[in-house]
Chain A
Amino acid sequence: MYSTLDPAGPAARNIATLWWVMLGGATFIFGLVMILLLLSFTRRKGAGGEARQLRIWVIGLGLVFPLAVLGALFACGLVIGERLLARADPEVTRVSAEARSWAWSFAYEDAPGQRTEGVLHIPAGRPVDVAITTADVIHSFWVPRLAGKLDAIPGRVNVLRIEADLPGTYRGLSAEFSGAGYGGFTFQVTAHDAAGWDAFLEDARR
C-alpha cells in the first residue's frame, strides 16, 4: 500500500531500481569485510613488510576501492536525480497542495476554483507538477509508490514531479513530524484515465 518497492510511476521505479543495485553492492562489500575479518583469525597469512601491508590495506582497500565505488555511485545518483527534476515540459499538468495541521487541500490549474480536501486528482500516464506549501508548520508530501517526498516549508513553494503509470488510487503520507496529529496525517491520490480526468475537470467547471 505504501511500499516504495512496489513502484507505480517512473520516479519511484527509478529509485527502486537504484535501491536493488545498491543493496547488491552493499551485500557484496559487507561479505568481503566479514571474510577479511574471519581470515585474520587463521594462522597462515600473507606476511610482507609494513610498507607492503600499508599498500594493500590502506591504499588499495582503504583509498582506491571506496573511491572507485563511491564515485560510480555518486554519478548514478546525480544522473537519476537530474532525470527526476520538475523540468519545463508542455505535457505537464500543474496542481498545488497546501498542508495544514492536519489536512491537505489541493487546487488545479486546469480547473480554477476547484479545491479538493484530502484527495488529489491527477491524470494517469502524464507528468504532474505538485506545487507544495504549508499554512502552518513544516509538512512533507509523499506518495511512496509514485515518487520521493518533498517538504512543505512556510513561506516557500516547492515543486515535485510525480506520475502514475495507470489509473488507480495511491496512498499518500505526510512525512515530516508535525505534533499530536502526525500519526494519522495521510491523503490519497486518485489517478484517472483520460476520460475520467476530463470528467473531473468538467465536473469542476460546473
Chain B
Amino acid sequence: MKDLLRILIAPLVWLATFSAIYGLLGLICGHGIGGTVLGLSLPRVLLITAYALAILLQVALLAVLYHPRLASRSGFVRFVSRITGWVGLVATGYALFPATVSSVCL
C-alpha cells in the first residue's frame, strides 16, 4: 500500500493544487477581489504565490522520492514513483503557468 502511495502521491498533489488554484481564481473573480500590493495587482500576487507554493511542494515530494531512506525498497517502484514525481512537477509548472501571464478575470 505504501508503495502504491509512492507512485500516486505526486500526481495526486498536482490534482489538488491545480483544482485549488482554479478555485482561488473562481473566488477572486466571483467576489471581485482587487486592489494592489507593492504596485502589483493583488489577484496576480495571490495567484503567483500559490503557483510558486505548488511548485515548491512538488520539488519537496520529488526530494522525498529520491531520498535513499524514504524511497521504496523495490527498484521497480522507485523507478515508477520517480517518473510520476517528475510528472507532478512538470504538470504543475506547465498547467498553472498561465497564472503568471494570462489576463485574470476576462
Decide whether A and B are members of one complex: yes
Indicate whether B70 reaches chain A with its CB closer than 8 angstroms.
no
Contact B106 A85 (CB under 8 A): yes
We find that the number of chain B residues with CB closer than 8 angstroms to chain A is 6
List the A side residues contacting B101 at CB < 8 Å. Answer: 78
* Chain B nearest Cβ from A133, distance in angstroms: 17
List the B side residues contacting A87 at CB < 8 Å. Answer: 103, 106
Q: How large is the interface on A (under 10, 10 to 19, 20 to 34, 35 or more residues)?
A: under 10
Q: Which of A71, A78, A85, A86 is B98 in contact with, Cβ under 8 Å?
A: A78
Q: How far is the CA of A71 from the CA of B95 in the complex (A)?
A: 10
Q: How far is the CA of A85 from the CA of B94 in the complex (A)?
A: 22
Indicate whether B102 reaches chain A with its CB closer than 8 angstroms.
yes
Give the contacts of A72-93 with B (CB-CB under 8 A).
78, 82, 85-87
Contact B102 A78 (CB under 8 A): yes
Query: How many A-B pairs fall under 8 Å by CB?
Result: 11
List the A side residues contacting B103 at CB < 8 Å. Answer: 82, 85, 87
Q: How far is the CA of A85 from the CA of B106 in the complex (A)?
A: 7
List the A side residues contacting B106 at CB < 8 Å. Answer: 85-87
The residue on A at minimum CB distance from B95 is A74
The residue on A at minimum CB distance from B106 is A85
List the A side residues contacting B94 at CB < 8 Å. Answer: 71
Give the contacts of B81-106 with A (CB-CB under 8 A).
94, 98, 101-103, 106
The residue on B at minimum CB distance from A85 is B106
Produce 1/0 per residue, A90-113, CB < 8 A to B.
000000000000000000000000
List the B side residues contacting A85 at CB < 8 Å. Answer: 103, 106
* Chain B nearest Cβ from A58, distance in angstroms: 10
Give the contacts of A110-125 with B (CB-CB under 8 A).
none
Give the contacts of B10-64 with A (CB-CB under 8 A).
none
Q: How far is the CA of A82 from the CA of B94 in the complex (A)?
A: 18
Q: How far is the CA of A34 from the CA of B94 in the complex (A)?
A: 29
Interface residues of A (CB under 8 A from B): 71, 78, 82, 85-87
